[in-house]
Amino acid sequence: MKVSERLEKIPPYLFAEIDRKIAEAKAKGIDIISLGIGDPDQPTLAPVVEEMHRAIDNPKNHDYPPYNGTEKFRKAACEWMKKRFGVDLNPDTEMLANIGSKEAIAHIFFAFVDKGDYTLVPDPGYPVYHNATIFAGGTPYAMPLLEENGYLPDFDKIPEDVAKKSKLMFLNYPNNPTGAVADLDFFKKAVDFCKKYDILLCSDMAYSEMTYDGYVAPSVLQVEGAKDVAIEFYSHSKSYNMTGWRVGFVCGNADAVKALGTIKNNIDSGTFKAIQDAAAAAFYIDKSTIESLNKMYQERRDAAEEGFRELGWNIKPSKATFYLWLPVPKGMTSEEFVTLMLEKAHVVVPAGNGYGKCGEGYFRVALTKDVPTIKECIRRMKEAGIRYDLSV
């Protein structure tokens, strides 16, 4: 049988390829350390698990959930947005529960993109932005995220004919894969640009709470008038160690929330109500618990950055996410370097070009292992002679 043309246009999913390489190496008896996928290694926070135990025993949670999410979850999410960012939201029209932000990100393209439309997506960026555009029949236009520009897109470099045909713009700060951050001045520029060209601004805030050294990530919805053109995607996955739970929310522009809800109504039946109860409890977890989790990641960041500096890398401390975005040694491609890491140091890191053409020449490190394991990775690299000034 022949698959659809759209499926043939999709490259192998980056993280599925990483899983495949790990499985192949382990089958050969190799002791692999993976710093590849951004999956927290710590258990889900205790108050969430405790609430889940209670909620799953409640027979009222055993039927279909409301399509837009339970009232309890939507109201709790709105309260959190108000407390965290000072943003007022209507839980009935400006808030939508989702099955983790990945599915909502993919589905928003079906709600707005037709054949011939452009989308403005970051490069490097989360692969779903690019691939979901293709699934919807649109054309992704890459906004380069360059080191010399702080990994922020330059809106002035977007051709006007492309801007006029664009339906969506995706931004992601704190950023995956680069770890870059943005301020409200940047978000205001984005809002102004999208208003000028009637573009839906989609802000992916999966890493909003994973910040260090006093940095606090802002919301695009804090910009005056942002709700005229913007929605924001949140996930419980990283903030509360809930990657497997598949829960989060989308909020902001009421028309966009309604459109996304219409797509979802016809494709999925929502998240199990007990999970929504548990996810609602996460919003009330004491701030000190999140700070303690961030302190752990900061210690890992410091250990990794110190180790890579010893190996010749020039690194500026990352302010957010649990990723490091580093250049490969001169004379090597991203694929050549990550292959060297796997074969000589038995350490898995993703190649930067897996996140887009502008990711070529870089690799990403996920701080999802403890400090001793990170130090073991550095030791293996030293032993294998892998350095930034590696002669090839």
pLDDT at 346: 94
State the 10-residue block means of pLDDT for the chain, 392 residues long: 81 69 78 91 96 97 97 98 98 97 96 97 96 96 97 98 98 98 98 98 98 96 98 96 96 98 95 98 96 96 97 93 96 93 94 95 97 98 94 60
Q: Residue 104: what are its φ and ψ, rounded to 5°?
A: -70, -40
pTM higher than 0.85 for the full model? yes
Span between the terminal Cα atoms of the chain, in Å: 45
Give the Cα separation of 311 and 381 in Å (integer). 8
Given 3-state DSSP classes, what are the helix, strand and coil percentages for the chain, each rounded to the nearest 5? 45, 15, 40
Show the tokens assigned to 237.
């996955």
Show the tokens assigned to 63.
């039927």
Q: What is the dihedral of CA 263, 267, 268, 269, to 10 degrees?
A: 80
pLDDT at 285: 96
Give the Cα separation of 231 and 222 in Å (integer). 11
The answer as to CATH 3.40.640.10 being correct for domain 46-282 is: yes
**Residue 297, SS3 per DSSP:** helix
| Residue 348, C-beta contacts closer than 8 angstroms, at least 6 positions apart | 18, 21, 22, 25, 32, 33, 34, 35, 36, 338, 341, 342
- Element of type H or E holding 245: none
**Residue showing tokens 């992916």:** 204
Give the Cα separation of 6 and 10 in Å (integer). 7
Cα–Cα separations (whole angstroms), residue 333 to 37, 70, 205, 267, 360: 20, 48, 30, 40, 7
Give the Cα separation of 283 and 346 in Å (integer). 39
Options 1.10.3720.10, 3.40.50.720, 3.90.1150.10, 3.40.50.300; which CATH number does 5-42+287-384 get? 3.90.1150.10
Show the tokens assigned to 369.
């292992």
pLDDT at 145: 98
Helices (H), 249-316: 254-265, 273-282, 287-310
pLDDT at 24: 80
Question: Which regions of the chain carry the CATH code 3.40.640.10?
Answer: 46-282
Question: Which regions of the chain carry the CATH code 3.90.1150.10?
Answer: 5-42+287-384
